[in-house]
Structure 1
Amino acid sequence: MLEYSLIFIALLALLSIVFEEITHVNKAKTTLFFGCISWILLFIAAEPSQHELINHSLEENLLEIAVLWLFLMSTMTFVAYLNSKGIIQMAVQRLFPAKSSVTIIMFLVALFSLLLSAICDNITATLVSLTLLQSFNIDIKTKLRMAILVVFSVNSGGVALITGDVTTLMIYLDGHLQISQLFLLLLPALISVLFLAAIFSIGLKGEVTTTPANRDYESVDLMIAVIFFSTILCTMLFNVIFAIPPVLTFLTGLSIMFLVGQMYRSDKQESQMLEYIRQIEFDTLLFFLGILLLVGMLKEVGILQVVTQIYSQFDPMYSNYVAGIGSALLDNVPLTAALLKAEPVLSSAQWLGLTYAVGVGGSLLVIGSAAGIIAMSKIKEMTFMSYCRYIPALLVAYTIGYGLTILLSNYFYH
C-alpha cells in the first residue's frame, strides 16, 4: 500500500509540472513539497528498526544532491558573471556570423552544443548554449525549437566521451567499454542531431542577428573568463588522470575567481561580484532538489529494481532502447546504476547501445535530463506541454541514433 501511495505522490509531482501554466504554482515549489512528503511518509510507515536504514538512504540521496547543487552553483555563477559582462556574447560573435539565415544558425547551434558537451559536462554546456540563444534576435517559436535542440544535442554529445556524461563514465569505469569504443558513438550522435536540426528548420524563415555585446568589461573580467575555461579543462584532465570529482575542481576554480576579484576590486565591487551568486535563479536549484528527492524515493521503494527485472527478460537490443525511453521518467544515473548492479551479460555492441540509450533517451521529456531541467527554468517559453509537442521528432531522432549505434557496433564489435 505504501508503494502505491508513493508512486501516486510522484505522479502528482509530475502533474504539477505539466499543469503549471494552468495552476500558476511554481513547479520548483510543488516538486520540493512532494519530494519531502514522500520521504516523511517513508519514515512514518516504516518499523522503528528500519528508521536508521532509511535515514542512511536519505543521507546518501542528500549527498548526491549536494554535490550536484554545488557543481551547478559554481557553473552558474561563472556563466552569470561572464554573461553580465558581455564576455560570452563577445565570444559568440567571434564564432557565429553577425547575420545569417535561421536554418544555418540552427545547424551551428546544434554542432556547438554537441561539441561543447563532448568536452565538458552537460550542465556547463547547457548553460553556455542557452546563453548563446539569448544573444540572438529570434521569435518565440524559433527560440523554443533551438532550446529543445540544445537539450538533445547536449545529451547526445556527452555519450561519446567519459568527460561528457556521468552514465558513460559509469559504464566505462565498470570495465564494459574502452574509450576507443566509445568514440564510435560520435557518428550516430552527430547524424541524429543534424536530422533533428533539419526537422526543426522546416517552416522557419528569415534571418538571425546577434545582439551587440556589452563592452563594459575590464581586464579582470577577461582573467575570470580564462579561469572559467581553465577550470573546465582541469575538470576533465583531473577527473580522468587522478579521479578527482568534478565538483571539487569547479569549486576550486570558483574560489580562485573570488580571490582574483578581491585583489583587483574594492570591497564594494567585491560585494557586487558576490551578488551574482544571489542572482542565480534559485528555482532551478529547488527544482533539482525536488526531482532528485522523488527519484531517490522511487529507488528506495524498489521501483528501479522492478525496471531492472523487466530489462533482463527481453533481448538487450530492445531492452536498451526501452531503457533509454525510461530514463526520460527516471533519472538516468540511478537507472544505469541499477542496471550495472544487476550485472547483465552483454556484448560490446550491446553495451554501446545501452550507453547511447541512457545518455540520449532523457531528452524525450523536458524533466528527463539535467539539460532539460535547466532549459525549462531558463527559457520561459519552454514548459512541459510545449516540449511535449516535439516528442515525435525527438523520438525519431533518438531512434535513428540508436539504430545507427546498433548497426555500427555490430559491424565493428560483433
Structure 2
Amino acid sequence: METIIIILFVLGYLAIAIEHSLKIDKLIPALLMMAALWAIVSTTHMDVYEVNAAIKELEPTDLHNILVHHLGKTAEILIFLMGAMAIIEIIDFFDGFGTFKKYVRTKNKRKLLWFFSFLAFLLSAIIDNLTTTIVLITIVQKIIKDRQLRLWFAGIVVIAANAGGAWSPIGDVTTTMLWIGNKVTTLALVQQVLLPSIACVAIPTFLTSRLSNFKGEIEQEQELNEVPSNTSKYGSIMLYLGLGFIIFVPIFKTLTHLPPYLGMMFSLSMTAIFAEIFSRRKFALTTLDENSNNPTSYHSPLSHSLGRIEMPSILFFLGILMAVAALESLGMLFHFAEALNNSIPLLGTESGGEKISDLVVIILGFASAVIDNVPLVAASMGMFSAGLDDSVWHFIAYSAGTGGSMLIIGSAAGVVAMGMEKIDFLWYLKKIAWLAMLGFLSGSIVFILMRNFVLNS
C-alpha cells in the first residue's frame, strides 16, 4: 500500500507542476490527492504515527486523532491567510495602494529600478509576495510605456518580492507555515534571514542596473504624480491602518501567547470597523448590488473584500497540506529525511542534536523553482525534527522562499507577473534566471557565514 500511496502522491504532484499544460487548476489534483491518500489509509487500516520531536521517534496513534491534529494545524494557516487576504482587499477597496505612486519622484531608470526593488522587498514582508507583485507591476505599467523595459522591472520585482517575504513571518505562505507551526519565532527569523535576503535582492538589482537598458530616463505619457479621479480620499489612511494592523499580529501573539490566526482576526475586525466608518454605508454582509460594476456600490467594504478572497488558493493549500500530512502520519517523511541526510555529505553544523546538510536545504531551494514551495516546506516540517528556532528552519524559510525566483513558474509572484506582462518563459530563463540564481546562492553563503561565525560566536 505504501508504494501505491507514493505513486498517487507523485502523480498528483506532477499534475500540480504542469497545470498550465493540462489546463486544469492545481487545486483539483491537490484535493483529489488529499482525499485519495487518506481514503487508502483508512480503508486498508494502515498504522499511523505522530512524530515526537523531543526524542525524535515515531509514536503510534489512531486515525481520528491524527486527522484532527493535522486539520487543526492546517485550519490555523488557512484562517490566518483568509484574514490577511481580506485586509488587503479592504485596502484595495479604497485604492490604498495607489498611494505608492505619490512617492515616485524620479524619471531616472536606475533610480526607479532600485526604488521598485526596495519597495517590493519591504512591502512583501508586510503583506505577501503575490499581492506586492500585483500592486507594483500595476504601478509600473502606468508610468513606463516601454514594454521591454517593463519586463526587466517585472523580473526584479519578482526576485525582490520573494526575498522580502522570506524574512518575515507574515510575508510568505511558507514562512507563515513555519511560524504558526512553532518552528520559528519572529525575532530569530528576522535576525537570521534578513541579511541573506538583502543579499539575494541587492546583487541582482545592482547587476541589472548596470545594463545598457537602464541608462537615461523613462519616457512618459502622463505625470508620475497624477492621481486618478476615482481615488478615494481615505486611500492613504486605509493603507497605513491595514498594514499597521497586519504588522500588529506578531505583537498580539507575543503579548497574549495565542495562535497567530486570532491576532489576524482581531486585525481584520479593527480594519473593517474603520472601513465601515469611512464608507458611510450600512453594514450588510449578505446584501450585494449584483447589477453594478462599481465596487463602492456594495453595502459593506468587508462584504466586497470577502467576496474577492482567492478561494482556489485556500482550497489548494488545504489539499496539499493535508496530502503531505498523510505521508507524515505514515512515517514516510521521517524515514526519507534520515535516508537523505545519510546519503548527502554533511556541510552544515550539528544543531539541536540533529545533523542536517546545508546541501539538502539548498537543493530544496532549487526544487522550489520547479515545484510549489508550499508542499516542499510542509514536507520538510514532517521530515526534520529540529527544535524551535533551530537554524535549519531559518535556512529552509530563506531557501524555499527565494529559490522560486529562478524560474518564472517557480513562485506565485512569478506566475502572476507572467500573466500580467505576458512574460515568455524562455525570455525569463535567459534574462532573469541567472540573476535570481546568483542572488539565491549569495544569500545562502551569507546565511551560512552568519550562522557559523557570527551568531554562534
Q: TM-score, normalised by structure 1?
A: 0.76
More helix by share: 1
Distance in structure 2 (CA, Å) of the matches to 1:69 and 1:80: 17
Retained in 1: the 8 A contact 2:129–2:172? yes
> Would you say 1:193 and 2:183 are equivalent positions?
no
CA shift, 1:299, in A, is 4.1
- Percent identity reads 18
Task: Indicate the RMSD between aligned Cα atoms, in angstroms.
Answer: 4.1
Structure 2, unaligned runs of 5 or more = 47-62, 290-295, 347-356
Asked which structure has the greater CA Rg, the reply is 2
* Aligned residue runs from structure 1 range 108-147, under 5 A: 108-119=115-126, 121-122=128-129, 125-147=132-154
CA shift, 1:11, in A, is 0.6
* Aligned residue runs from structure 1 range 308-327, under 5 A: 308-313=337-342, 314=344, 315=346, 316-327=357-368
The one-letter code sitting in structure 1 at the alignment partner of 2:447 is: T
Write out per-residue CA displacement over residues 26-84 of structure 1, whole angstroms, 9 at most, x where no aligned residue.
xxx5312212222343255344356757864784576256325513531341243133x
Write out per-residue CA displacement over residues 177-216 of structure 1, whole angstroms, 9 at most, x where no aligned residue.
8836843543332232122123444352551644732143
Q: 1:259 aligns with which of 264, 268, 276?
A: 276
Distance in structure 2 (CA, Å) of the matches to 1:159 and 1:177: 13
In structure 2, do the counterparts of structure 1 residues 41 and 150 end up closer, same or farther at CA, with 3 Å as the change threshold? Answer: same
Number of the residue aligned with 1:204 = 213
Retained in 2: the 8 A contact 1:88–1:132? no
Distance in structure 2 (CA, Å) of the matches to 1:180 and 1:36: 34
The one-letter code sitting in structure 2 at the alignment partner of 1:234 is: F
CA shift, 1:404, in A, is 1.9
> Would you say 1:337 and 2:381 are equivalent positions?
yes
Write out per-residue CA displacement over residues 361-408 of structure 1, whole angstroms, 9 at most, x where no aligned residue.
24334555454455556x252576665553333122100111122223
Number of the residue aligned with 2:11 = 8
Q: 1:36 aligns with which of 22, 27, 31?
A: 31
Distance in structure 2 (CA, Å) of the matches to 1:172 and 1:35: 22
Residue 107 of structure 2 aligns to a residue in which SS? strand
Number of the residue aligned with 1:156 = 163
Number of the residue aligned with 1:277 = 305
The one-letter code sitting in structure 2 at the alignment partner of 1:322 is: I
Q: 2:93 aligns with which of 81, 95, 120?
A: 81
Deviates more, 1:386-395 or 1:314-323: 386-395
Q: TM-score, normalised by structure 2?
A: 0.70
Number of the residue aligned with 1:289 = 315
In structure 2, do the counterparts of structure 1 residues 185 and 273 end up closer, same or farther at CA, with 3 Å as the change threshold? Answer: same
Retained in 1: the 8 A contact 2:144–2:219? yes
Number of the residue aligned with 2:101 = 93
Distance in structure 2 (CA, Å) of the matches to 1:9 and 1:396: 31
Number of the residue aligned with 1:247 = 264
Number of the residue aligned with 1:400 = 442
The one-letter code sitting in structure 1 at the alignment partner of 2:87 is: T
Structure 1, unaligned runs of 5 or more = none
Distance in structure 2 (CA, Å) of the matches to 1:38 and 1:352: 29
Distance in structure 2 (CA, Å) of the matches to 1:74 and 1:36: 23
Number of the residue aligned with 2:60 = none
Distance in structure 2 (CA, Å) of the matches to 1:234 and 1:3: 41
